[in-house]
Structure formats: structure tokens, C-alpha cells
Structure 1
Amino acid sequence: MKYIDGGVCAPKGFKAAGVHCGIRSKDINKKDLALIVSDEMCAAAAVYTQNKVKGAPIAVTREHLRDGKAKAIVCNSGNANTCAPNGVEIAEKTCELTAKHIGADPADIIVCSTGVIGEELLMEPFEKGMPPLVKALSYEGGTMTAEAIMTTDTVSKECAVEFELDGKICRIGAAAKGSGMINPNMATMLSFITTDAAISAGMLQKALSEDIKDSYNQISVDGDTSTNDTVAIMANGMAGNREIAAEGTAFETFCRALNMVTEVLAKKLAADGEGATKLIECQVKGAPDKQTARILSKSVISSDLLKSAMFGEDANWGRVLCALGYAQADFSADDISVEMGSAKGIVKVCEHSALYPHSEEEAAEILSEKEIQIYVDLNQGKESAAAWGCDLTYDYVKINGDYRS
């Protein structure tokens, strides 16, 4: 397996584009409408936010994916179409408009929106933007799509891998967006995944639902679970491998490739948190079970106190133990060790759940890097997990204080 370029267009038979249609602002340099289209009908699956308040596009997409098939994904940024007048009607009309222009059935369109909650979304921008959007579709258009789904993101986020099944070269590509309102609970902000591997809709759903437990669900920027979180995946089978219809070696290979993509994007999402200056990774090992390791690692990177300490380059390891201690998991807190690391080295700060003598100056130097690792050993099992977050800075408040301005 190896990483390749191309994003959502890396797999065979996928075209993509992004244009400005006027939803976000009058700045024509800000793309706000994205489209991904497959040459062939795809097996498709998705996971969604667990927030009780959900964007209208989620209801429409759920209905469209009941048959496990999709042809395209359309997404706008700048308006979440959540708690908005006629939200479902707008989402459905967007699918109808998209289908008309690409020659598909509206029921085969996945629709998503991201942006401000509670504002009316009109059809006029879609009607204006769809013709140039379809005209711009390209087998090299992955980056345009990644840019068009951005909101407060400072960089677009793409990844793709190449792997082999049955002697056939297969690819998985993806784009993601997210910078604030990030605390995934079943899905993530928005992520669109494409593959030319042949795999049934049922196995695609199984692979995606399991994968996010150790990728997108293990990130947090600010503890807020969005109303529009969606991860959608489409598989058109154009690589020519035997269809994966059950568990086995081929399915395991597919899942490994999928995780290579989603883990990279999870880290990119966490690193681009609103106002962030540092990516924080917490690795927990020695846990009694996998779920405990997941819960504890995410509790650490979600702690506002710990995030603030990392911004200040302060090795305040007590905040690590505090975050472990209030997590909803069954484990012993009697024999925990903690190390903090970066490209500048590793320093042990805690052993047997107590202070381990160390140099504060050395620790501060290690924490001055842009990527920081926190290593936790519970010393009570063999399971491990990782989670990713970012520091909490003054700019986070500034960005969200005038988000609608």
C-alpha cells in the first residue's frame, strides 16, 4: 500500500469540481459548491452525526441511501441548511437539479451542506452555479472539491492510497472539511470517500462504521458535535477486483487501506482546528480493553485545561491524569505513567500516578513544537488507542465571536 495524489479523483471513474455560486459571500475566489460524480453507479454507505438536531440534508441522504446506491455527491458550504425554512425541500430540489444536469435519478444523489445554522438557504445560487459546476467536472478536480467544502478551514484536506486486490490495482481517495464545532460522535464534520474497488454496500457500511471508531471519532477541537456531520463513501467497482461480499483477506486489506486515508485526514482536521497552533496526539496503551483506550485517549485531547497548557508549552501532567480520571471508563488509576514528546525528544513526567522528576525547561522545549505526543501507559492490559486534538488559543474565541460577520 502506498499514498498517492488525486484525492477523491484518485480512483478510476470519478470526476469532481468546485465553483463559487454565491452562497458564502460575494468573493468569487471562495468556492462554495462542490460535486463528485462517478462514471458508474456505486455501492454507497454513510454515517451521520448523533446530534438530535440534524441538518435537512441528512434526512434526504438517509432516504436516498436506503438502497445502498449512489451516483454523485453534491455539497454546499456557507449555509448548513439546518433549522432553516423549507430545509428538506431545498435539499430535495438540489438533488433534482443535480440529477437533471448529470443525467441521473435524484434518488441516487447524496446531498450535504455546511456552514451557518438557522439561516434560510435559497435555490437561486444552486440554479446559477450548477451549469458551470458540471462543466468544470474533471478527473483531476479533487482539489477543487476539497476547497469548495471548506468553511473556517485554513487549508483543504485530501488523501489517497493505492493497494492491490486479486491482482488488480485499487484506490481509495477522500476529502474532508472541519475546523470548528468538532467533536465527532458517529461521524465527522464532512468527509467524502471514493474507491474503485468492488465491494457490496453492506460490507462498505461495515467497513466505514468500524473504521470511524479509530479515526474520525477520535478527534476533537472544541467538544461541540455538529448538526451536519456526515461521512459518505462510494465504490464504483471499476478496478475490476472480485466484489467483496463477506469478511476475509480482501475485506481486511480494504479496511487497512481505508484506515490509512481516514487517519491521515483525522490528523489534518485536528491540526487545522480554529485558531490552533499545535496538533496534539494522545496514545494510550496498557488498557484493559479497546474501548477504554479510545475513551481515555479522547478524554485527554478534549480537555480544555490540557489544550490550554499545550498552547502555553506547560508540561502540566496533572491535567492529563485529571482528564483520565473523569472519563466514563472502568479502569484503575493507581499505576499510570505519562510521557510527553515531539520531534525534540521525549520526557517522562509521571510514574506510578505520581510526579516523576524532570526538567521543566526541557519539557517546555519539547512542547514548543507544532506536533506534540502524550504517551499514557495504564499498566493493566494489552489494548491501545490514539486520539487527536489541538491546543486552545486566543484566536479560537476571536474566530467564533464573529463567525457570522
Structure 2
Amino acid sequence: MPHAFDTVSTVLLDIVQLLPDVSDVIAFVSGLPQLPPALQALLQLHQSMDLTRHWPCLHLENIAPRNIDLGIAALPAFPNVSLGPATNLRWLAAPLPRSTRSRLPLRSRSDTTLAFARIWGNHVRHISITRNAVFSAPMHEILDLCRYIESIELRLSSPASAAVWVSAFTRLGLPLRSFSLDIPPHPNAPLTDCVALARAILASSSLKILMLCNAPDVEAALGAIDGDMLHVTTYSMPSTVRGARHPAVLHKLDPAKVICLSVAGHVDLSRFWPFNPSCVTLYRDVSDANMARIVAWLNTSCVLKRFDAKSTGTVGFEVIARALPQWIARGLETFAMGRYGDYFRPTLFSKHGLLLLASALTTERDPRKTLKVTVNLRKRVLDFEEMHALLAAVGASTNTCLTLDYVESYPSDALIEFAALARVEATDRKVVIQSL
């Protein structure tokens, strides 16, 4: 029977690693009649420390020495681990499970980082490089030991240093899928620096996700040089800084392959309209008329997972609210309105719009998926009917979380009435309602 128990243990660990929240993990594990050693250790670790910030990634650098032995025993339960130059070397006594993925920050030369790369290098999937990191022989040795890097995050101070790093990744032939670059604009930087970086990015043919944070110079270089990004499925440049060159870069993408696009400013997205978007983020104020056009486009998508908008008019929000049941039924998981809103130009939510939102939350959908809805009310007062409708809707649904930000006031009587149907956390100007 040991073989049968091993099989059950493997299945249980697989299930645990699919759970998104540590509270769900603990509830599931606590209800099991018999636990494999890793899950027993996980429960003991949970009793010894707060795991809220350690799921699904265990940050080894932040584990107190007294908890390291428990952490080693619980490692098979964690899908991801994060290393660091101050990570205790006692962790090297633990053989990582084959499925465990590791994150490795490269801040400066570190013998500890090199030691972990030598033992756990085949598990490293994500590398982050910060502003003071200089490419050197020890850094090259670390990268040579990490042959399966899929994701890179660069936060550097100049395009020249970024070009050196990206060129190194390209030469090593790493299977890069995701690249994130945060680099401040340099008005006096030579154009050749940005061109070299752009060429290095275009040379990575396996790249699927490209995220540029406030890097208009790099985006301009990408748009100016020869080459395409037909393999890129997610492109993000959420910046309104002067010098952005969205149109030139967008023409290098294949609209049929793009599933997530985040850009700012007045950009013509008509090339992408015939295709199904899955993630849409609108960083600008959108008029009622334009929001109606956008919603009509999104209604054609069967794969929309996330919608996030800065602000629109009263009619624009009502148009969105009428479309929500269709989006939710098809698999929408995240909806946010006003998170990037302008304080002086907030979305004005009518009573009719909020009641439409409440009705949409009761739409029949896959109960295994969590629906997260966030609405920034910008100091709006909620009356009893509105609060009653929103509470009743969440209480009647499954796996739903509604966050109401910047609420000026609301009737507390409604909270008491629905206390048995939904879990409510109310603080100053914020109400979070979760289905039971």
C-alpha cells in the first residue's frame, strides 16, 4: 500500500498547488484525514509564522532560522520559491522537487547566489535584475547554470546596461517567454544604446510577453528598426510620457495572436478589433460614445478574462453593466472600474448603473472560478436599495469578491441583514463583500 499512498500524496500536493489563497490551502489540508509529510510540515509552518505573503511563493530569505527545518520539510507543497543573496545556506540541504520553480534576484555579486545557482540552477525560471547589478564574469557563470529561464525582469538605469544583459540572454539561447523592462527616459542618451537594446529584444524569437514600463525611448527604437514581433501575444506600455510611439510598434504585432494589450493615449486599435481579446486595460478617460464602441467590440470575444477601465461617463458605465452578464457567463474573472481614475474626472455611477451591476453578479457561471470586482465610487453615498442589491447579489453567488473603494457612506442596517449570507469587511470608505 505504500505505493498507493505515494500516489495519493502526489495528487494532494498537485491540488494544493492549484489553490490561489493560503487560507483555502489551510482549510483544505486541515480537513484531510491523512496527510503526507510535506502537508503536515505546511500546517506546522502555518502555526509558526504568517504564510499570507508566502503563498504560492515561499520567500526563503525572509524565513527565520528557527523555521528553516520546517520550511525544508514543507518545500514540496510550494509551487514556487524565491531566493536572495541573504538566503540561509541551510536551505541547500533540501532537494527541490522537480516541479518546483525558483525565482532568483541578481542585485550584485554574491557567493550565496552562486551557491544556490550551482545546486538549484535547473529550477530557476524567473530572474530579476535591479539598478545596481553589473554584468560580470560571476553573473555570466550564474546565468550559465540557469538554463531554463523563462521570465526576466530588468530594472536598470540606462538602456546601454540593459542591452548588455538582454544580449547575454539571447546568446545563451534561453527559452525566454516573458520580458519586463523598467528604465527611465534618458533625454541625452545616444540613440544607439536604445537601438542595441531593441535589436536584442527582437532577437529573442521565443518571447511571448513584452512589458515596457515608462520606456518610450526603447519603444521608439523598437518601432524604428527592421524586424517584427509576430510571436508576441502580450504587449504592455502603460505610459503617457511624451515620446511614446505605440502605432509603429503595434504594427509589428500580429493581431490574430495578441491576447493582452495595454497601451495609453489615443491609439488606433482597429487592427485588433476583429480578434478576441482576453485582457483589456483602458488607462484613459473614455467617452460614453467610445465606450459603447469598445463594449460592442468586447461582446464579440469568447475569451475575455479581465476588464479594467480608468473612467467613463454615467451612460458608458451603464453600457458596460448591461454587457457584464454576457462577459461573466463566458468566463470573465476580473472587473475593475476607476482604479486609475482621475480625482477630478471620476466615473459617475447612477443608481440604475449600480443596480445593473448587482444584477450582473448573479449571472450563472463556472463556480470553480473566482470573480473579483472592484469599483472606485469616489466618495459616493450608497443608499439602502443599492447596498441591499449589491449584498444580496454577492450573497446569492459563488466565489465572488466585490470591493467598493472610497465609499462616502452606506447604511449599516444592510450589512447586518446580510451577515449570514456574505462575509463583509467594512473600514473607513472601503467595503469588501465576499460570498460564503
TM-score class, shorter: under 0.3
**TM-score (normalised: structure 2):** 0.24
**TM-score (normalised: structure 1):** 0.26
Higher normalized helix content (fraction of residues): 2
Look at both structures and tell me which one has the larger radius of gyration over its CA atoms.
Answer: 2
